[in-house]
Amino acid sequence: MIDARSLTRDFVVSRSQTVHAVRGISLRIEPGELVALLGPNGAGKTTTMRMLTTLIAPTSGTATVAGHDVVREPGKVRRHIGYVGQGNGAGHTQRARDELRTQGAIYGLDRRAARRRADDLLDGLDLADLADRKVSALSGGQRRRLDVAMGLVHAPSLLFLDEPSTGLDPQNRANLWEHILRMRAEAAMTVVLTTHYLDEADSMAERVVIVDHGEIIADDSAAALKAKLAGDRIVVTVAGDDARPLARLVDRLPGARDLVCAGSRVEAHVADGPAALPELLRAAIEADVRVGTAQAHQPTLDDVFLTLTGRSLREAEQETPTAQDSPQDSQTRKDVP
Amino acid sequence: MTTIGATAPSPTPVAARTRTGPLGLLRDVGIVLTRELRPLRHDPFSVVFGMVQPLVFLGLFGPLLVGSLGGQAGTAFGAGGVWQWFVPAILVMTALFGTSATGANLLFEFQTGAHERMLVTPLSRPSLLVGRALKEMVPLAGQAVIIVLVMIPFGFRLYPVGALLGLALLAVFGVGLGALSYSLAIAVRKQDWMFWVVQQTLIFPLMLLSGMLLPLETGPGWMRVASQVNPLAYLVDAERALFAGEIGSMTVLWGWVAALVTAAVGLTVGVRAMARSAD
Ligand SMILES: Nc1ncnc2c1ncn2[C@@H]1O[C@H](COP(=O)(O)OP(=O)(O)O)[C@@H](O)[C@H]1O
Ligand SMILES: [Mg+2]
């Protein structure tokens, strides 16, 4: 469905400054996949998507989307893809129903078919009661559903969604996703979305492509990424203030690595967090080490991002100068004697 | 629950029905034009907003004109007096203020994402500009008719054929100026505050150097020279002639030349700008 090879895109901001927004992205997506591009703001997700949807030309590289080259045959690509951009697709002075009919006409539906399609989509996305409202009078969540409806008018086999749920409250987000997933199932659509919400990529996408600084740094299912690149983690503290005896015990747990011992606290990756804790506690009792607290953490995609970049995705988001430092570095790293 | 997929037309036939070539362009222009006209149809009173300045001039400047140079302008255009001289100019002013501001609508659609939505569809790029520019004729015609009707009780004399031709001339000019306004919007889309700066900086000199408000005959020589390269001056003269019932004179011909050149330049520049508007 998508075959992108070494796509790059530079933006010339001023004579002395060029932004390398995308620095060589190669990506194959098969029909029927649901893929999330995950990365912090400014990673190049939107720019990548705008190249794949023919909105901007790549600086170098090629891409075939829905069977056509994005540079040589942009018109054919446009006819086959649906796109929901980062902003709102509907004009603010227009009415919801009219915008859907206009889209229908654009994709070659006759008046009757366009009218019927608009009504179906309004029903399907819970917008029927708002059909005659001006877009400017819709709430953020309603507008976003209208955007999705507009992207679906011609029943595309490939749908691009750029930050579909940004700015929505959790309830609206869940609601929007319910609609997207249902339509995907009904129409056997390939879906490519971008997001900077970790949980969204984690729970919705079957495949997560992590993008940072204009490059793909990981590409797999969320589960595989977490298992491969992060793994379970345990955090334990001792009742006293010297954790080194406890650290020695932690180090013996199956799969223990990346152990950090700071003051009364020990942190390490282990093969199986929930199983490791009881074992550790038993060993601690035998060795007469008093444990204060014990926690097991299952990895999140944020842990994956941290492993890959040394930054947390949330910090990368804020673009603070210290965002380059990982939390571990601020602690003293002691080797277990 | 409605099943969307089941009733959906499959993508392939949709694509097959999308025409290319001149017929496709015409169809696309029609779609864009229809979309642009919708808000106007739902809210016809919005045409009045574009008339605020012209009506202020008509109400506050007109009476001053009557007082200060009533006789002089009257002799220039015969029996009609000052209103016969001033009303056609006010129509041109309406076109100037209304259509030169229309780019702001596009600028807004750049910000919201609505324009990007259009760019990602198979609509041809030129149609996105031409359809919008053609739409300018409609509010303009509406405004012109209102002004003329309002002025008839004040002694404005209507020559129907000339008036209709005058409206047509104004519409052609409006398409050109609208297209230029859209071009400006596209050019400054990354520094949108520039739009109003440029628009305001241009329209006032254009207006004053067109002889719209005061006859240029009484001004210094350089002003008269400057007005000779101002298409608006030819348009104002032609409208005055047409609304005096004079249909086939050289003045009118020059007005058509000015309007058609404005439209041709505007559409050419605009279509080129539109092609690059995604970046
Ligand atoms: N039109 C543009 N002009 C200049 N710089 C741009 C433009 N679009 C994006 N950029 C820059 O390119 C980088 C990637 O942006 P973007 O693709 O929007 O990131 P994301 O969608 O991942 O947040 C950012 O540094 C952004 O500022
Ligand atoms: Mg983005």
Segment B52-78 shows an average pLDDT of 70
Question: pLDDT confidence of B219, banded at 50, 70, 90?
Answer: confident
Name the residue range of residue A271's domain: 232-298
Contacts of B5 in chain A (CB under 8 A): 155, 183, 185-188
Q: Distance (Å, rounded) from C-alpha A181 to C-alpha A168?
A: 17
Q: What is the C-alpha to C-alpha distance for residues B85 and B155, in angstroms, rounded to an integer? A: 12
Average pLDDT of the segment spanning A288-304: 89
Residue entry with tokens 């001056």: B233
SS3 A234: strand
**Rounded Cα gap, residues B272 and A108, in angstroms:** 25
Specify if A68 maps to a domain.
yes
Assess whether A96 and A207 both reside in one domain.
yes
Mean pLDDT of chain A: 88
Q: What is the mean pLDDT of residues B87-96?
A: 91
Q: Which residue has the higher pLDDT, B140 or A327?
A: B140
Structure tokens at A257: 């690595």
Give the per-residue pLDDT at A159. 95
Whether residue A195 has its Cβ less than 6 Å from ligand 1: no
Q: Where are the beta strands (DSSP E) in chain A?
A: 2-14, 17-29, 34-38, 60-65, 68-69, 81-84, 158-162, 190-195, 207-212, 215-220, 232-238, 257-262, 265-270, 291-297
Q: Is A53 on the interface with B (CB under 8 A)?
A: yes
Q: Tally Cβ neighbours within 10 Å of residue A256.
A: 18
Mean pLDDT of A122-136: 92
- The pLDDT mean for chain B works out to 85
Task: State if residue A209 touches ligand 1 by the CB under 6 angstroms criterion.
Answer: no
Query: How far apart are alpha carbons A98 and A163 in whole angstroms?
Result: 24
Say if residue A10's pLDDT is above 90. yes
Q: Which of B53, B55, B85, B83 is nearest to B204 (CA)?
A: B53
Q: How confident is the model at residue B17 (pLDDT cuts 50, 70, 90)?
A: low
The residue ranking higher by pLDDT, A83 or A255, is: A83
d(CA B188, CA B181): 11
Confidence of residue B70 (pLDDT cuts 50, 70, 90): low
Please name the amino acid found at residue A215.
E
CA of residue B179 to ligand 1 center, whole Å:
29
Q: Does A93 touch chain B (CB under 8 A)?
A: yes
Instruction: Measure the CA–CA gap between A27 and A6, rounded to whole angstroms.
Output: 8
- Establish whether residue A41 lines the binding site of ligand 1, counting it when its CB lies within 6 angstroms of any ligand atom: yes
The total of structural domains in chain A comes to 2
Sheet of A68-69, strands arranged across:
A17-29, A2-14, A60-65, A68-69
- Least confident range of A8-17, A180-189, B78-87: B78-87
Mean pLDDT, range B80-85, rounded to an integer: 78
User: Do A251 and A200 have their domain in common?
Assistant: no
Flag whether pLDDT at B69 surpasses 70. no
The neighbouring-strand residues paired with A8 are: A23, A60
Residue A126 lies in a domain: yes
Residue A326 in this model has a pLDDT that exceeds 60 = no
Average pLDDT over residues B18-39: 87
Statement: residue A188 has pLDDT above 50:
yes
**Chain B interface includes A24 (CB < 8 A):** no
Q: A103 and A201 share a domain? A: yes
Both A36 and A93 in one domain: the answer is: yes
Structural domain contains residue A15: yes
A46 Cβ closer than 6 Å to some ligand 1 atom: yes
Same-domain check for residues A74 and A202: yes
Alpha carbon of B111 to ligand 2 centroid (Å): 14
Q: How far apart are CA B26 and CA B21, in angstroms?
A: 9
Is the Cβ atom of A313 under 6 angstroms away from ligand 1? no
Structure confidence by residue, pLDDT tens digits, B109-138: 999 999 999 999 999 999 999 999 999 889
Spatial separation of the C-alpha atoms in residues A75 and A304, rounded to whole Å: 38
The contacts of residue B62 (CB under 8 Å, 6+ apart) are B82, B83, B86, B90
pLDDT digits (tens, 9 = 90+) for B221-275: 888 888 888 999 999 999 999 999 998 899 999 999 999 999 999 999 999 999 8
Question: For residue A58, is it within any domain?
Answer: yes
* Each residue's pLDDT tens digit, A214-240: 999 999 998 888 888 888 889 999 988
CA-CA distance, B151 to B155, in Å (whole number)? 7
Residue A305 lies in a domain: no
Residues A186, A293 within the same domain? no
Cα–Cα dist A308/A230, whole Å:
9
Torsion, Cα of B93, B95, B98, B102 (10° steps): -140
CATH of residue A286: 3.30.70.100
Q: Are B86 and B215 in contact (CB under 8 A)?
A: no
* Calpha distance A151→A153 (Å, rounded): 6
- Ranges assigned E (strand) in chain B: none
- The CATH number linked to A177 is 3.40.50.300
The answer to whether residue A334 is domain-embedded is no
Residue A56 in contact with residue A50, Cβ under 8 Å? yes
Q: Of all residues in chain B, what percent carry a pLDDT higher than 90?
A: 52
Residues A245 and A128 reside in one and the same domain: no
Q: Do A94 and B39 count as a contact with CB atoms less than 8 A apart? A: yes
- The strand pair at A257-262 and A265-270 is best described as antiparallel
Is B117's Cβ below 8 Å from some Cβ in A? Answer: yes
> Mean per-residue pLDDT for B136-164?
89
Nearest ligand to residue A37 Cα:
1
Residue type, A174: A
Q: Using CA positions, which residue lies closest to atom 2 of ligand 1?
A: A11
**Same domain for A204 and A65:** yes
Give the pLDDT score at B19: 62
Q: What is the mean pLDDT of residues A291-313?
A: 87
Any B CB within 8 A of A169 CB: no
Buried b (16+ CB within 10 A) or exposed e, A283-321: bbeeeebebeebebeebbbbbbbbbebebbbebbeeeee
Full-model pTM: 0.84
